[in-house]
Every structure is written in structure tokens, then in C-alpha cells.
């Protein structure tokens, strides 16, 4: 069975403190849904080398055991509550993708 992934890219964050409040709710919701954070760049001390456009914006990669599990975690009540806390000043490109089996 192919794994599922959440990929989030944040082109603009105008209120980092409000984003931290979302993170506090989203982290436990993701873990409860079976997700494992693989990377959170550039925060948490991660390194990035940007090519082409040279953009080093925040990128979060979370792995689930299956695509269906990734979708269910997003649709969970706990994660939906976290989304309410996502501040208006945050521009986010979010997608759920299926890995290659």
C-alpha cells in the first residue's frame, strides 16, 4: 500500500506567533491520525539549499502509512479544530499526495 503525504508550503507568514498557536493544535492532531513529521524547513534547525527561484519559505512534509490515512487525518475533528486556529495572515499551499508504492 502506498504511503500518503501532507505537503505544506507557506509563501507568506505575517504573524508567526499565531502560526505557533496553530502548530500546538495541529501537532497532536497529526500524531493522533498516525502522521510523522519528516521535515519542517527552515524552522527547527533544518537546512535548505534553494535553486531556480531561490525561495526558502517554510515547507512541512508529513508521512502517513497510507493515502487514506492522510485524508482521514485531515478530515478529523481534531485537525479541523486546528485549522480554525490557522491565522488569516498565513498564506499556505497544502496538498495530500499519494506516494509511489
CB 11 within 8 A of CB 86: no
pLDDT score recorded for residue 12:
86
* pLDDT tens-place string over residues 53-90: 877 788 899 999 999 999 999 999 999 999 998 888 88
* pLDDT tens-place string over residues 12-52: 888 888 888 899 999 999 999 999 999 888 766 677 888 88
Q: What is the mean pLDDT of residues 7-16?
A: 88
pLDDT score recorded for residue 45:
63
The domain of 17 spans 4-98
- Supply the CATH number for residue 46's domain: 3.30.70.100
**Total structural domains within the chain:** 1
Measure Cα distances from 64 to 55, 61, 67, 81 in Å.
27, 10, 7, 20
pLDDT score recorded for residue 43:
64
Amino acid at each position: 500500500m502506498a504511503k500518503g503525504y501532507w505537503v505544506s508550503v507557506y509563501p507568506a507568514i505575517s504573524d508567526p506567533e499565531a502560526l505557533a498557536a496553530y502548530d500546538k493544535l495541529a501537532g497532536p492532531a497529526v500524531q493522533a491520525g498516525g502522521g510523522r513529521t519528516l521535515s519542517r524547513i527552515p524552522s527547527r534547525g533544518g537546512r535548505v539549499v534553494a535553486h531556480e527561484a531561490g525561495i526558502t519559505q517554510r515547507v512541512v512534509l508529513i508521512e502517513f502509512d497510507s493515502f487514506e490515512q492522510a485524508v482521514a487525518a485531515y478530515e478529523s475533528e481534531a485537525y479541523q479544530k486546528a485549522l480554525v486556529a490557522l491565522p488569516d495572515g498565513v498564506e499556505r499551499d497544502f496538498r495530500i499526495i499519494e506516494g509511489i508504492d
